[in-house]
Structure 1
Amino acid sequence: MTTATHPRTYATVTGLNATFVTLDGRAEPVTATGDEDIRLAVIRRAADEARRTGAPVELVTAGDRGEHHLLVHPAGDLSPVPSTAAHDDDESDEDLDLGPYLDLHDTDVANDGEEVREQNPQPVHSPLSHAPAAEPPGRPSFLTPTTTPTRPTRGRGLLGALGIRVRPSAAEMRRSQQRASVSRQWAGCRTIAVANGKGGVGKTMTTAMLAAVYAREGGGSVLAWDNNDTRGTLGWRTEQGLYDTTIGDLLPAAPRLLAPTTGVSEISRFVHHQVTDRYDVLRSNPELLATDQRITATEFDVLMQVAARFFRMVIFDSGNDESAERWLRMIDNAYQLVIPTLATAESAESAALLLDALRGRDQRSRALADRAVVIVSQSEPAGAAAARRIADGFDGHVRAVHIVPFDPAMKAGPLRFDALHARTRDAWLSVAASAAEGL
């Protein structure tokens, strides 16, 4: 039986965000300052609790890098948690799981919050640093690593149906490799921002199609987030779940959803599951004016913590107001930028201007722009030549450019992956695989 010898605080760390649960059970967001590691901010907050009680507190962290136990003292210094408090086995103190904190450059947090670097840091061992036991000399292992084979999944016509083996085509091999890319399971939540400052260029369509590809191939746990102040239509073009809820309902429920005892199914009350395409939608409220549903940067960070706790991937359908706090925080939290445009000069110029603005914003935004994936959608059946001209204009300025052919199923009405033509589905698979390279 596990016995805690010190009062416990808890923190959930996901990427650049964290939620801290105080000794009296209150959940609150933690944010880092400047380029500070978010884990230092969490330790500093735990030190505040220790100073308030005048005694060390045990900090239990969970999130991107697993669960870890630290003993935080009122002065801000750290020490291993006695093994009887954190473990049920007989591990020694030096085997406690401090691994993710080893790369904080041996930095402690002093009483005033300033960083203090130790002159002669003492090594702390992580259980992950121990090499596995070597095989007895002279005996080979009976086990071989299990991997998922890269194999074409599309049939080869009548010969394949008759059981006659036919060498897969280059297109089939490419699709198989792309499926392997989009079905990857990353450690920690990954985020994609779908952005273009002009309306009507396919942001909602792109969000839904990417979410469908990743969820269908990777097994769900994908959220399509309508991050829009002004008439977001993602909810109109996707299925409604059991509850008529929007982002406005999720925000006040965030502290409860972030509590350590909350079950994973609790998020279902606030998102709308797509039965066939397997992803979930977080809706905005298109019936409200933008002034009635503004989301501040702090509120966005709390919502992001909730999303990262319940989903392995988030795809943002952004609004057109690039000055909105929620739009800027979306960019700050994105791993990959996807920019959709129609095969028209106006929408392409808007996409190019967005890339220019991001390159001048800061170093991280510039990297997003340089690694962006641009999608040129052919909005009319006869628009192939125009789409190619637009795509050629972006070539060399971003990491990848893709053309999505015209498909009447994307023009209006519900967005469902199975309703698309085969070549359109293949195009979206290629886009998703390209974006996955940046995650």
Structure 2
Amino acid sequence: MAQHESDQPTVYATVRADSTGVLDVDGVKHDVTGTDDANVRSQILNQVTGRARIHGRPVLLVTDDELGQGRLHVHPNGKVEAVGEFVYSDHGTTPAQTVTEPAPASAQPPRLPLTPSRVAVEPIVTSERRTARASFLVQETPQEPASTGWRGLLSRAGIHVAPSAEEMAERADVHLVSQHWAGPRTISMANGKGGANKTPTTALLAGVFARYGGSGVLAWDNNETRGTLGWRTEQGGHDSTVQDLLPQTERLLSPGAQSSDLAHYVHHQTGDKYDVLRSNPIALSADQKITRAEFTSLHRVASKYFRLVFVDSGNDESAQRWQQMIDQTHQLVIATTALGEHAEAGALLLEALAQRDERSAQLAANAVVIVSQSEKTGNGAQAIADGFTGLARRAVTIPYDDALHSGKIRYDALNRATQRAWLAAAAAVAEGL
């Protein structure tokens, strides 16, 4: 006789984005803490399996996390079965683009809800009439099963479950930032107001593209007024800055120069896999001015040795190095916090570029605005992002994260929700490359 859910032992589990969870057993709540969300789910599943053994029958596990709600049957022997469909939540990180989850194919076995391969068929036109055949070459790659959340847990247990819409959106963002483009690309972070988050934006975009797309990514501190990119990132085995590289540009552009020669002047980030070209925050700005011609020489070196160059600009929009940066930029990023004065400075810059010349106007129209929530108790980032409608191509938001407000900037130190937001921001940038 089938067992009704009302007669079945039921346990409720909530998994939070900060790698903690709550297990509710008969109204008694138990806190669960893990190294990451997968570890929290594994601990919960182990406890619920033990509960099933006590009862000698399956336990209904009702789950709730940032992706949505679901029901699982957990058997005494550890077997897990999905009950019904997952209900996706309407909160959490907004994906960079909408991805529709494909419907399971009726022709596939029930345990493999994968999208069937579609075969392209081309008619063969000859003097004789022939029967068209399916090509053996043009086939879609089968969809991989879920890898995150409760669905991922089921997949690792041998139950093939299709990924959620949120996971599909994340995969699409990863695909975008993993690409390699024909020829080098320069992405510049700009805002005439100091403290607008240009340096963290530079470091984290460079880190995301390097982590997913591989080597050949440079973060360049193009700031003559005490740029702090060097302070917020790892230092290599030397003290070199852009001023040390400048006299070597002709040699590094020569045919005999090797990529390893550049290691004397840039600082490799061992965790996030990109390199940093530092400015000198100790020297006076008068001692480290760079002309348009000097910027061009430096940019030629950067473009020779790196496929992606992320430029952290200074605040002086009249400086020759700033103006030449704009002229060499492929994708403009306006970095701002949720403070009105930072957002206003970014908007004024976009409006000024729209009037500067045709190419600058195109940069402004194609710009991506990244709004970082800089105050722990604030919630104005989305309103600021909405205010850039019509001024830029995209505006994305980043949640508050303690790891971004002091010390070295490392992607692994960020909360999961913050990492996801930076991936979405990087994908928005990649769309313009």
Tell me the TM-score range normalised by the shorter chain. 0.5 to 0.7
Residues 383-435 of structure 1: CA deviation (Å, up to 9, x unaligned)? 12x21221111123210010100000001111000100111111111111111
Residue 397 of structure 2 is aligned with which of 399, 403, 406? 403
Residue 279 of structure 1 is aligned with which of 271, 274, 288? 274
SS at match of 1:402: strand
Give 1:147 deviation, angstroms: 8.6
**4+ residue segments displaced more than 3 Å:** 140-154
State whether structure 2 residue 308 is matched by structure 1 residue 313: yes
When normalised by structure 1's length, the TM-score is 0.66
RMSD: 2.2
SS at match of 1:360: helix
State whether structure 2 residue 427 is matched by structure 1 residue 427: no
1:232–1:319 Cα contact (<8 Å) kept: yes
What residue is the counterpart of 1:291 in the other structure?
A: 286
Q: Distance in 2 between matches of 1:306 and 1:369?
A: 26
State whether structure 2 residue 418 is matched by structure 1 residue 414: no
SS at match of 1:388: helix
What residue is the counterpart of 1:259 in the other structure?
A: 254
What residue is the counterpart of 1:155 in the other structure?
A: 148
1:361–1:151 Cα change, 3 Å: farther
Residue 328 of structure 1 is aligned with which of 304, 323, 327? 323
SS at match of 2:356: coil
What residue is the counterpart of 1:343 in the other structure?
A: 338
Q: Distance in 2 between matches of 1:372 and 1:167?
A: 35
1:183–1:218 Cα contact (<8 Å) kept: yes
Q: How many percent of aligned residue pairs carry the same amino acid?
A: 55
For 2:421, the aligned partner's letter is A
1:211-230 aligned at under 5 Å gives the runs 211-230=206-225
Between 211-220 and 143-152, report the one with greater CA deviation: 143-152
2:232–2:409 Cα contact (<8 Å) kept: yes
When normalised by structure 2's length, the TM-score is 0.67
Residue 391 of structure 1 is aligned with which of 370, 381, 385? 385
Q: Distance in 1 between matches of 2:295 and 2:134?
A: 50
1:152–1:173 Cα contact (<8 Å) kept: no
SS at match of 2:202: helix
Give 1:273 deviation, angstroms: 0.3
Q: Distance in 1 between matches of 2:294 and 2:187?
A: 19
2:147–2:163 Cα contact (<8 Å) kept: no
State whether structure 2 residue 155 is matched by structure 1 residue 189: no
Give 1:141 deviation, angstroms: 12
2:146–2:164 Cα contact (<8 Å) kept: no
Q: Distance in 2 between matches of 1:217 and 1:404?
A: 19
For 2:266, the aligned partner's letter is V
Give 1:154 deviation, angstroms: 4.1
Residues 178-235 of structure 1: CA deviation (Å, up to 9, x unaligned)? 1110011011100101000001110000000000000000011100000001000000
Between 372-381 and 330-339, report the one with greater CA deviation: 372-381
2:207–2:273 Cα contact (<8 Å) kept: yes
For 2:349, the aligned partner's letter is L
Give 1:294 deviation, angstroms: 0.4
1:153–1:165 Cα change, 3 Å: closer
Residue 431 of structure 2 is aligned with which of 419, 429, 437? 437
What residue is the counterpart of 2:367 in the other structure?
A: 372
Give 1:144 deviation, angstroms: 3.6
Q: Distance in 1 between matches of 2:273 and 2:299?
A: 20
For 2:361, the aligned partner's letter is R
Query: Who wins on radius of gyration, i.e. which is larger?
Result: 2
1:434–1:260 Cα change, 3 Å: same
1:278–1:291 Cα change, 3 Å: same
Give 1:148 deviation, angstroms: 7.7
1:414–1:153 Cα change, 3 Å: farther
1:235-254 aligned at under 5 Å gives the runs 235-254=230-249
Residues 247-292 of structure 1: CA deviation (Å, up to 9, x unaligned)? 0010111111111011111111110000110000000000101100
Residues 340-371 of structure 1: CA deviation (Å, up to 9, x unaligned)? 11111111110111111111110100111111
SS at match of 2:243: helix
SS at match of 1:309: helix
1:372–1:295 Cα change, 3 Å: same
1:150–1:176 Cα contact (<8 Å) kept: no
For 2:298, the aligned partner's letter is L
State whether structure 2 residue 237 is matched by structure 1 residue 206: no
Q: Could you list the runs of 5+ residues in structure 1 that have no partner in the other structure?
A: 1-137
Give 1:160 deviation, angstroms: 2.6
Q: Distance in 2 between matches of 1:433 and 1:389?
A: 21
Q: Distance in 2 between matches of 1:154 and 1:234?
A: 35
1:240–1:272 Cα contact (<8 Å) kept: yes
2:191–2:335 Cα contact (<8 Å) kept: yes
SS at match of 1:213: helix
Q: Distance in 2 between matches of 1:312 and 1:149?
A: 31
Give 1:375 deviation, angstroms: 1.1
SS at match of 1:167: coil
What residue is the counterpart of 1:173 in the other structure?
A: 168
Q: Distance in 1 between matches of 2:275 and 2:143?
A: 28
Residues 111-148 of structure 1: CA deviation (Å, up to 9, x unaligned)? xxxxxxxxxxxxxxxxxxxxxxxxxxx9x999847998
For 1:350, the aligned partner's letter is A
Q: Distance in 2 between matches of 1:368 and 1:298?
A: 22
For 2:296, the aligned partner's letter is D
Residues 313-365 of structure 1: CA deviation (Å, up to 9, x unaligned)? 00000000000011001100001110011111111110111111111110100
Q: Distance in 1 between matches of 2:311 and 2:140?
A: 32
